[in-house]
Amino acid sequence: MNAQRVSSAVGILITLFTAAAFAQQEKPKTNSSASAPASVKPFLGRWDITLKAPDREYPSWLEISLQGDQLKAQMVGRWGNARSLPKVELSTGQLTFVSPKEEEASKEDLVFEGKVEGNHLVGTVNGPDGTQWTWIGERAPSLARSGTPPAMGKSTAVVQREGSERVEAGQRKPVCCMEG
């Protein structure tokens, strides 16, 4: 009987220690902006950016997200495609992100600094020509669909006329650059 009591007590202790260990583990963080600190929320999302150089304006695009407890950013610079940025930080309301020099045809990385003013994200960047540029961002429109997605309609055969010949959909006519 003593052995049973000792065995039961050991089982209860193991259960209590296991429960305590799980209770002390950090709760998983979500990617939702709803769980983001209030200081980060105004910066999160997609922004249509206009880079204002001395000679012209360049369209750009920026997306800032929170993954776990880290800020992440993707950007389309003056040209190219969306790419992840190596650095994005927020300190005392000041956003700093870096676009690598290789992506911007620049001698140095482009270091963007900005803050939220009203409904805009505004700031400066050291341009590739060495002058200071300004930039302004507006919230990009939502890409979320509302309602039912569009349905495909009935297919229709396409007939194309080339010269006096009819070419039905799906048929190919040899293309030649020199006729004669």
> pLDDT tens for residues 17-40?
444 444 444 333 333 444 557 788
What is residue 170's predicted lDDT score, i.e. its pLDDT?
59
| Residue 11 within any structural domain of the chain | no
Distance CA 67, CA 79 (A): 26
| Residue 80 within any structural domain of the chain | yes
- Predicted TM-score of the model (pTM): 0.60
| Residue 108 within any structural domain of the chain | yes
| Residue 130 within any structural domain of the chain | yes
Q: Which domain holds residue 111?
A: 42-138
| Residue 50 within any structural domain of the chain | yes
Read off the CATH number of the domain in which 78 is found.
Answer: 2.40.128.20
| Residue 148 within any structural domain of the chain | no
Extract the residue ranges of the chain whose pLDDT is less than 50: 6, 9-11, 13-34, 180
| Residue 76 within any structural domain of the chain | yes
Q: Percent of the chain, pLDDT > 90?
A: 41
Phi and psi, residue 122, nearest 5°? -130, 150
Domain count along the chain: 1
Which residues touch 112 (CB under 8 Å, ≥6 apart)? 95, 96, 97, 98, 99, 123, 124, 125, 135
What is residue 143's predicted lDDT score, i.e. its pLDDT?
78
DSSP E strands in the chain: the ranges are: 45-52, 57-67, 70-76, 83-84, 87-91, 94-99, 110-117, 120-126, 132-139, 159-162, 165-168
